[in-house]
Amino acid sequence: MSNLSDLDVQQTCCRSSLFRGLDGVELDDVLKAVEVREEQSRAVVFRQGDTPSRLFLLAKGFVKISQINGDGTPVTLRMIGPGEILACVAVFKQISYPATAMTMADSVLLTWPASMILGLIDKNPRLKDNALEIVGHRTQDLAHQLTRMATERVEQRIARALLCLTAQVGRKVPEGLEVGVPLSRQDIAEIAGTDFYNVSRQFQKWADQGIIIARRLHVTVLDLSALEAIAGKSH
């Protein structure tokens, strides 16, 4: 994997929602303490139940945050793209990670000790504002997801998952918009809150209608507006 230059690291930090707006000196503190981790695809970043020893900022790649309930059924709470923070609530509140984070592509993570972040936040009001902003946004988002999970049918939820994925890691190809990270039907199912049988069948149906092209570990969306109509429709 290609290493990130110091400049890349600096830019990623000062553009991130957490460190945004820090002045030069403060940012230097952050940069001095950073550790850069490179991970291959499908590597565990942290595990549900672990004590949060570190905060992460994804510089490059793609990460899945998923929770396992009592049954052992995994649910993906969120997919994380470059520039986003991982584990913020656990670190801020000093509770064990409520979910497991796994890279879905070769990734580069910037990471800091939790204690160091807590120290910084404590004396820096700007950081505290940013933290509140991030967590507030997460809360809103989860509330929407909950409402959708409670009221929408599987077809709509799968459509939404696809729309979200193309928005996050969509890559323009001649035929349309491809999800730029290899994801199995199972991966999609965990995002949509169903099983891979349903995803497979739904993909087949949409493929027949010319809405998508479904291949092993890959999907390309041909007709975005059709998907949006399905995701938005009442019944």
Q: Which residues bind its own copies (CB under 8 A)?
A: 67, 69-71, 73, 75, 77, 89, 92-93, 95, 98-99, 125, 128-129, 131-133, 135-140, 142-152, 193, 232, 234-235
Instruction: Check: CB of residue 62 under 8 Å from CB of residue 29.
Output: no
SS3 for 95-117 is CCCCCEEEECCCEEEEEEEHHHH
Between 9 and 161, CB nearer to its own copies? 161
CA atoms within 13 A on the CB side of 180: 14
Which among 62, 20, 55 is positioned nearest to 34, based on CA atoms? 55
Instruction: Check: CB of residue 48 under 8 Å from CB of residue 68.
Output: yes
Tally helices (H) and strands (E) across the chain.
9, 12
168 sits near DNA (criterion: CB under 7 A): no
89 is in the binding site of which of DNA, its own copies, none (Cβ under 5 to 8 A by kind)?
its own copies
Least separation in angstroms between residue 34's CB and DNA is 33
Map the footprint of DNA across residues 126-145, applying CB under 7 A. Answer: none
Least separation in angstroms between residue 28's CB and its own copies is 23
Of 195, 223, 224, 226, the residue at the interface with DNA (CB under 7 A) is 195
Tally of CB atoms within 10 A around 50: 14
Between 41 and 145, CB nearer to its own copies? 145
Least separation in angstroms between residue 156's CB and DNA is 8
Question: Residue 49 corresponds to which amino acid?
Answer: G
155 sits near DNA (criterion: CB under 7 A): yes
196 sits near DNA (criterion: CB under 7 A): yes
* Alpha carbons 223 and 84: distance in angstroms, whole number: 28
For CA atoms 94, 73, 157, 201, give the dihedral sign. Answer: positive
Query: Which helix (H) or strand (E) is 43 found in, with range?
Result: none
Between 66 and 198, CB nearer to DNA? 198
Between 154 and 222, CB nearer to DNA? 154
106 sits near DNA (criterion: CB under 7 A): no
217 sits near DNA (criterion: CB under 7 A): yes
Residue range at the interface with DNA (CB under 7 A); choices 25-33, 82-90, 98-106, 195-203 = 195-203
Question: Residue 108 corresponds to which amino acid?
Answer: V
- Give the interface with DNA as residue ranges (CB under 7 A): 153-155, 184-186, 194-201, 203-204, 214-217
